[in-house]
Amino acid sequence: MTPRSCLTVILAAGEGTRMKSSLPKVLHNIAGLPIVAHVAKAVHGAGVRDIALVVGKGGNQVEAAVRSVVSSVTVHEQTERLGTAHAVLAARESIAREYDDILVVFGDTPLIETAALDQARSKLADGVDVVVMGFRPAVPNGYGRLIEQDGRLIAIREEKDASEAEKKIGFCNGGLMALRGQTALALLDKITNDNANNEFYLTDVVEIANADGKSVVAIEISPDNVIGINTRVELAEAEAIWQTRKRRDMMLAGVTMQAPETVFFAHDTLVEADAILEPNIIFGPGVSIASGAVIHAFSYFEGAKIGANANVGPFARLRPGADLAAKSKVGNFVEVKNAKVGVGAKVNHLTYIGDAIVGPAANIGAGAITCNYDGYNKHLTEIGANVFIGSNSSLVAPVSIGDNAYVASGSVITANVPADALAFGRARQEVKEGRAVQLRARYAAQKLAKKAD
């Protein structure tokens, strides 16, 4: 059986004034990914490759966000906002391309799950013409109500047009729909704006399809799936739901978390089974953690790769390009940026490693710093295998320390150190026998004289 072709129309022409933002609503992030990109990702997960994106004025950024997750995108501009059906018809050219299935989703419902889209499409495959995704919200106010008869969906009544009896219905329109491609355009073209808002309502397609003898059903999906974001409060609530789902997925996939509610993932975080995440860890985008790694509390990662059985934190900060090899150790108050830390290397305390390569089994002492930036350019520090860098040393890049070399504590290293060498880069210590006694006597006398004044 050849798979059914499918086009998803994403409606994202809304302005989102209630966000009180200069950024279009659908570009606000959840788990570091724009809302609309979450929608596109779910669509992609349902095996749908083609997307028709309906944007308002200045939709370039919205388009870019969608293209960051799917490649086959056609953009349609809806210049006037005349309702959801009007918005869908802005994508007329794409819809006319004879797809088996047409999905209509909203760009501001980031928690839609692939499973719900699959469920709707399977109804189309069974021969249904119009599938409406319904849900039962705790409070139905504001939603269109689903009016059913004998398992068929007869109509969707927008709240403003609903009678008192209809308002009592708890089964509501989530807004998302699936339409048989063959008949979609003909049905959509019959929608008028004859209602309380003078808008072209997509929901009217239900009555029109029924009048045309088509089959229309509502499926019930979980309320999370259709949460729309209108305010920053709803944005935070959606983020919380997303995080809860992700934590659960992670734990079921073998990741240990003692206090999952304190760990915050990014949309693309990868953690292998048997990694351990202690409380209070924050992931920015682009982080992967291999099996057996232990991440101690209060760590913050972004664009970093953590190898198998590595040990990181507490209070570690890994910035983009940090690449920790297996069994390496990065301890408390250590920052690593654009640097490879070799197998079994240790960077245990109070250190900055930036633009560097740290060889296997090297040991970087407390407070050692790579001085990678001269105010204009970044420079590389190379540290060989088995090197020992004494505490509180500054490695002024570009500089390289050969294998098995030893740098004395407190050194400022400005020149390359060959393999097996010992480098001191500090003033020689002087000791004056008995001088502390003289010094104290002098200071005490001065203090006495001052009091007498």
DSSP letter at 428 equals P
Residue 349 bridge partners (DSSP): 332
Which residues lie closer than 8 Å to 171 by C-beta, 6 or more apart?
134, 135, 136, 145, 146, 148, 218, 220
Q: From the list Ca ion, ligand UD1, none, which binds 14 (C-beta under 5 to 8 Å, kind-based)?
A: ligand UD1
Q: Is 11 in the site for ligand UD1 (CB under 6 A)?
A: yes
Only segment of 169-177, 207-215, 342-350, 357-365 that touches ligand UD1 (CB under 6 A): 169-177
**For the window 73-92, what string marks contact with ligand UD1 as x by the rule CB under 6 A?**
-----x--xxxx-xx-----
- Helix 114-125 vs helix 35-45: angle between axes, to the nearest 10 degrees? 50
Known active-site residue 349: yes
Strands 329-332 and 311-312: parallel
- By beta-carbon proximity to ligand UD1, the closer residue of 108 and 207 is 108
Q: Is 108 in the site for ligand UD1 (CB under 6 A)?
A: yes
Q: From the list ligand UD1, Ca ion, none, which binds 316 (C-beta under 5 to 8 Å, kind-based)?
A: none
Q: From the list Ca ion, ligand UD1, none, which binds 84 (C-beta under 5 to 8 Å, kind-based)?
A: ligand UD1
Half-sphere exposure of 153 (CA within 13 A, CB side): 30
Among 106, 264, 300, 352, contact with ligand UD1 (rule: CB under 6 A)? 106
- By beta-carbon proximity to ligand UD1, the closer residue of 175 and 384 is 175
The active-site residue out of 44, 267, 349, 379 is 349
Among 34, 83, 174, 228, contact with Ca ion (rule: CB under 5 A)? 228
Q: Is 14 in the site for Ca ion (CB under 5 A)?
A: no
437, two tokens: 């006694």
Helix (H) or strand (E) holding 131: strand 130-135
Q: Is 225 in the site for ligand UD1 (CB under 6 A)?
A: no
333, two tokens: 């108050």
CA distance 253 to 261: 17
Minimum distance from residue 33 beta carbon to ligand UD1 (Å): 17
Contact 285, 267 (CB under 8 A): yes
**Peptide bond preceding 34: is omega within 30 degrees of 0, i.e. cis?**
no
Contact 250, 266 (CB under 8 A): no
Interface residues with ligand UD1 (CB under 6 A)? 11-14, 54, 78, 81-84, 86-87, 106-108, 143-144, 156, 158, 172-175, 201-203, 228
Report, as residue numbers or ranges, the catalytic residues: 349
